[in-house]
Amino acid sequence: TKKEIACDSKVIYEFGGPVGVSALMVGFPILMSYLYICLAVNQGRLQNPLEWEFWARGGPTIIPTPRSMVIYLSFTVFQYFT
């Protein structure tokens, strides 16, 4: 019917559309890394993320270990083939 066609032709974006979703995809991993570094390195105290020293001290803590990479990649390959 005409009403269904009119309704289906209207595009409604959520989360701010493509720009908003892209910002979420980039921003959330950075936020999670920041919060993890604050917890693991600074005993949960919030620090200034704009200082180089913060990322220099905390950066090595967010690098995945070889074991975790094998587990994740094995699961990904398994999911691909099943």
- In the chain, count of helices (H) and strands (E)? 4, 0
End-to-end CA distance of the chain: 41
Taking a C-beta distance cutoff of 8 angstroms, is the pair 49, 55 a contact? yes
- When pLDDT is cut at 50, 70 and 90, the band that residue 11 belongs to is confident
**Residue 14 pLDDT more than 80?**
yes
**Residue 66: what pLDDT?**
95
Vertex 33 angle, CA 16 and 61, to 5° = 165
